[in-house]
Copies of this chain bind each other. A is one copy, B any other.
């Protein structure tokens, strides 16, 4: 079996995806995104069925290029939850040598969260920092606002410097505040969904969009 580089591995699957994108383009109405940003927004809509992401999605001006560059140098992805790694196409990541890391289920992380009275997500980010993964990585947050807030703290302290932050935590306690804090950062670049909406499937969609852009760059002669 030959290696196929799209995550839609059958012809029927690819046809459904193409038809879906056409429906989204037709129904989504006007938008203010650039030609490189829209494919990512379209994929968020595709993964959720929610046209609100045309508007809720915000980009640092250098974010898409930073994401493409990070993929092309094989930067690691640090994810807050395991669903992100499970949703990403291994074949497409492998083309660029990109590996996915997540530490939320590590016994040490769980024990530290209990001992210090914070969340597993916070401790997972500290573990990623200790392993040197927060330098140059794509940080992918789909669930835990506390993970995002912790990395922003580490960045302020000069102890983390991701290439790109994908900040799409979901929830009702602090996600909007965490994303507001992200949206004012000049460096590193970021992509986020404002307000409460977010989730792991959206983060996976965003990364697949960046992979597609990196692939099309690579395919050029």
Contacts and interface: CB of A to CB of B under 8 A. Distances in A.
Interface of A: 1, 9-13, 16, 19-20, 23-24, 46-50, 81-83, 85-87, 107, 110-111, 113-114, 117-121, 146, 170-175, 195-201, 204
B199 A48 contact: yes
A50 B201 CA distance: 14
A82 B89 CA distance: 11
Given A119-B13, A199-B48, A172 B24 contact: yes
Contacts of A86: 82-83, 85-87
Contacts of A50: 50, 197
A153 to B, nearest CB: 16
A117 B11 contact: yes
B171 A46 contact: yes
A200 to B, nearest CB: 6
